[in-house]
Structure 1
Amino acid sequence: MSSVNRVNSVNDMKQRYDVVVVGGGAAGLGGALALSRARRSVLVIDAGDPRNAPASHVHNYLGREGTPPAELTAIGRAEVAGYGGEIVRGGVVSAERLPGDEGFRVVTEDGSAVVARRLLVTTGIVDDLPPVPGLAERWGREVLHCPYCHGSEVADRPIGVLSTGPLSVHQALMWRQWSDDVTLFRHTGPEFGDEEYEQLAARGIAVVDGEVTGLEITDDRLTGLRLAGGRVVAREVVVVQPRFTARSAVLESLGLVPVAQEAAGHVIGSYIAADPSGATEVPGVWAAGNVTNLMEQLIGAANAGLRAAVAINADLIADDTRRAVEARRAGSGVVIG
């Protein structure tokens, strides 16, 4: 294996970097690529558990439509390494600000530590699925949530939408764009209003009462949803609404607190607040991708990583300039003020 494609071990890390990127998905690699091209010393620490691992292909990524997720990650790693960026496999357990302007100490699971002048955290989110037996095992295959990610691949198939919150009618109406055979299962969700029933009826979406207790699988394929009374409704795809939970432990160790995101009065997840460049409330710390935007898709996450990288490099340039001016003044004996 060439050195460009090699992923280093934690033991290969240097002691100090301009930027440490925590998370090696699209946002992390997008930021690391721009920073490496800007001639910054960059370390990416990747836990190796990407959110899109269950998916067979990525979509809506211009120029890479249909690429397997692992292949896209390998391409990104090679590009980062090609410009001198370093990538290690491992998890980060915490980060702390060092005294003065010395940056941050980043600690990994094995107790190793490095110092970074700036941090870019791209740890993503976790999809917490409804507690129905069998859903997790089919996640990313026939159990889906985003029609823009998977709708085209299951178009015209019998789709079931599992209601667990107030967004289920919206989901059903949205997925109706990809199939004329959509059934909305009431499950544990709230009662629908008259206007919602009228919308569903107008779009030909059937409603099934009762709680879903499991999936029917035949020859390793989803064939239906089983209700509490034993009835099985034939379906080939089931749509769910996960709760999106930010992987925010590293950011929380720096004092940042996750923010709850609501939709229709229902909490759908948590994220870390950041400005459009990804800058958080902690100076020197940026975040990008799903950890700060629950609805970001892959190509948007890569772009968010790029935006953060540009902001980080600008901040480092300002810091480099300040240090250079101080050194020049000290060398010349000039005293200002």
Structure 2
Amino acid sequence: MSETNQRYDVVVIGGGAAGLSGALALSRARRSVLVIDSGSPRNAPASHVHNYLGREGAPPAELLAIGRAEAADYGARIERGEVVAAEKLADGFRVVREDGSAVGARRLLVTTGLVDELPAVEGLAERWGNEVLHCPYCHGWEVRDRPVGVLAVSPMAVHQALLWRQWTDDVVLFRHEQPDFTDEDYEQLAARGVPVAEGVVAGLEVADDRLTGVRLAGGTVIPREAVVVQPRFTARSAVLETLGLVPTDMVMGDHVVGSYIAADPTGATDVPGVWVAGNVANLMEQVVGAAAAGLKAASMINMDLVTEDTTRAVAKRRAPFSAEAERRVTERVLGDRRHGLQETR
């Protein structure tokens, strides 16, 4: 295994909005910072970032490129790589990459995000981030007034259909393999003009690289230009698990919608010295929220380091008057007296 003597105040694992925001703040606080980025952002399939004040509509890759340049301008080091493990040491952490190289860190900020796990329906994965969507606040405006289908894969399906009805009056809810809805559900859907399509969804219809419809198992195709589906949101927690942090299931009703790493409001985890920010800790966080969480965690990390630096400075200042120093002085004085080298009064 390749070792290195490099040691940073903070190693940031993950180079998305949360990680780069944290790196920027820490670098501006004159901390030595290394960002290790796997290069696989969650929003890579999306064409634009939305609801990010001042950067509305920016391509995700462009936003990250700007963030990397800004953090680097203040001294942050940014490297491509995959972190496979982290080890707690007496004075910090040892961070190991897939190539076997390792670096040291006084603190860790982990912003590895999550993985969207889609149902096994033909065509969903291929159109994900294009016409297959999940968040109306991220993509609702782009499909406003167009035919939208909601694929029921959880007890939240009726809620999803009613929510997307805000952006278009042409919403069809595909019951797929979910249990039948309640009378109250049907009444609400009818009141909002949302029909329910019975039958298992077999796949999506695509023509000229555009979604055209949803195909049921019986062969019926219902024209749609966008499909909404709720993925399972699984935290990228492998590195954190090597430190003993176990993912927590996020449950809505009786349905597990994903997993996350528990932390306090500042991002501090149960492992002292380890903070998390972004989707790895909050499954519902949008890009701007992830950036804000990275900033908050960074400020707390810096304060933690300031406290440690101060404690060390006080100990160093007191060193000449420590018990050990006094013992040495006493022994020297008594020794001088014993050998008649010091005049007594």
Secondary structure in structure 1 of the residue aligned to 2:251: strand
125, 130, 136: which is aligned to 1:147? 136
- Partner of residue 164, structure 1: 153
Q: Decide whether the 8 Å contact of 1:329 with 1:335 is kept in 2.
A: no
Deviation at 1:30, TM superposition (A): 0.6
1:149-191 deviation line (CA, Å, top 9, x unaligned) = 0000010000000001100000000000000000000101221
Give the counterpart letter for 1:50 in structure 2.
P
Please list every run of at least 4 consecutive aligned residues from structure 1 whose deviation after the TM superposition is greater than 6 angstroms: none
Q: Which residue of 2 aligns with 1:333?
A: 321
The one of 268, 275, 283 aligned to 2:257 = 268
Q: Match for 2:241: what amino acid?
A: E
Q: How does 1:113-152 map to 2 (within 5 A)?
A: 113-152=102-141
Structure 2 residue aligned with 1:51: 42
- The aligned counterpart of 2:60 is 69
Secondary structure of the residue aligned to 1:214 is strand
Aligned-pair distance for 1:264?
A: 1.8
Structure 1 CA distance, aligned partners of 2:245 and 2:322? 40
Helix, strand or coil: the match of 1:280? Answer: coil
* Residues 84-138 of structure 1: per-residue CA shift (max 9 Å, x gap): 000000010000101x2x1000000100000000000000000000100110010
The match for 1:279 is 268
Give the match for residue 338 of structure 2: none
User: What does residue 8 of structure 1 align with?
Assistant: none
Partner residue, 2:296: 307
The answer to whether the Cα contact below 8 Å between 1:164 and 1:190 also exists between their aligned partners in 2 is no
SS at match of 2:61: helix
Q: Counterparts of 1:227-238 in structure 2 under 5 Å? A: 227-238=216-227
In structure 2, the partner of 1:298 is: 287
How far 1:333 moved relative to its partner? 2.8
Equivalent residue for 2:78, pick from 87, 108, 119? 87
CA contact 1:165–1:190 (8 Å) conserved in 2? no
* Corresponding residue SS for 1:72: helix
Aligned equivalents of 1:14, 1:20: Cα separation in 2: 14
Aligned partner of 1:5 in structure 2 is none
Superposition deviation, residue 14 in structure 1: 6.4
Q: State the 1:56 CA deviation.
A: 0.2
Q: Which runs of 5+ in 1 are unaligned?
A: 1-10
8 A contact 1:35–1:309 mirrored in 2: yes
Q: Provide the residue aligned with 1:16 in structure 2.
A: 7
Using the TM superposition, give the Cα deviation of residue 328 of structure 1 relative to its aligned residue in structure 2, in angstroms: 1.4
The 1-side partners of 2:18 and 2:305 are apart by: 20
The counterpart of 1:253, out of the listed 208, 218, 242, is 242
* Matching residue within 9, 16, 30 for 1:39: 30
TM-score w.r.t. length of structure 1: 0.94
Q: Which amino acid aligns with 2:279?
A: N
CA contact (8 A) 1:271 1:293 kept: yes
For 1:280, give the aligned amino acid. Answer: T
Give the secondary-structure state (helix, strand or coil) at the position aligned to 2:72. Answer: helix
Kindly indicate whether the alpha-carbon contact (under 8 Å) linking 1:243 and 1:268 is maintained by their aligned counterparts in 2.
yes
**Given the alignment, which residue of 191, 195, 214 partners 2:203?**
214
1:74: Cα distance to partner?
0.3
- In the alignment, which residue of structure 2 is the partner of 1:176? 165
Is residue 189 of structure 1 aligned with residue 178 of structure 2? Answer: yes
Query: Partner of 2:140: helix, strand, or coil?
Result: helix
Instruction: Tell me how far apart the structure 2 counterparts of residues 184 and 207 of structure 1 sit (CA, whole Å).
Output: 5
Residues in 2 aligned to 1:14 and 1:26: alpha-carbon distance in whole angstroms: 28
Partners of 2:179 and 2:251 in 1: CA distance: 16
Q: Over aligned residues, Cα RMSD in angstroms?
A: 1.3
Q: For structure 2, which runs of at least 5 residues remain unmatched after alignment?
A: 325-345
Give the counterpart letter for 2:151 in structure 1: L
Q: Deviations over 1:3-36 (max 9, x none)?
A: xxxxxxxx9x861000000000000001000000
Amino acid at match of 1:329: R
Aligned counterparts of 2:180 and 2:116: Cα–Cα separation in 1: 25
Aligned position for 1:202: 191
Counting aligned pairs with the same residue, the percent is 73
d(CA) in 1 for partners of 2:10, 2:154? 41
TM-score relative to the length of structure 2: 0.92
What is the alpha-carbon distance in structure 2 between the residues aligned to residue 60 and residue 14 of structure 1?
42
Post-superposition offset of 1:334: 3.5
Q: How far, CA to CA, are the matches of 2:260 and 2:271 in structure 1?
A: 15
Partner of 1:199: helix, strand, or coil? helix
